[in-house]
Amino acid sequence: MPVTGQCYCGAVRFATAEDPQTVAYCHCADCRRWTGAPMPAFAAFAIEDLRLNADVTEITHASGVARRNCPACGSPLTARFPYLPDQIYVPVGLLDDAKDHPPVVHCHVDAALPWVHTDDDLLNENGSARDTLGLSRK
């Protein structure tokens, strides 16, 4: 079954025929600032599998993370991390079937806001969790 989604205004839609390779919460300041969420969740897909219906400019900041936002509404769309070169990350909240893709790990827990408390049994990783994220759940 395809995984589909869209930005807030619907100008940019995306689709893939593959399930996410992994889904993760991220507690780093960079992802918090980009999404405006205290612990955003992201679904990882193989770069070649994710298709967007529009050309969207990618911006790379000093951290080396390449991000795309909707040019119409500003929604965060995708992020690519230099240490995970074969994956592209999409905020889970943009997925049409977000309820079907729960996170399996917390990344950058060492950077979590002090008032964010989780009571789940998910794996907690300090730092990027690149080894965990680079593995497919398939």
Three-state SS string over 14-82 comes to EEECCCCCEEEEECCHHHHHHHCCCCCEEEEEEHHHCEECCCCCEEECCCCCEEEECCCCCCEEEEECC
pLDDT given at position 34: 94
Q: Quick check: is 84 in a domain?
A: yes
- Name the pTM for this structure: 0.91
Our count of domains for the chain comes to 1
Range of the domain at 24: 3-133
* 42 vs 63, residue with greater confidence: 42
| 122: CATH | 3.90.1590.10
Q: Quick check: is 23 in a domain?
A: yes
Q: How many CB atoms lie within 10 A of CB 114?
A: 5
Mean pLDDT of 93-118: 96
pLDDT given at position 69: 97
Sheet hosting strand 13-16, strand order edge to edge: 3-6, 13-16, 51-52
Q: Quick check: is 138 in a domain?
A: no
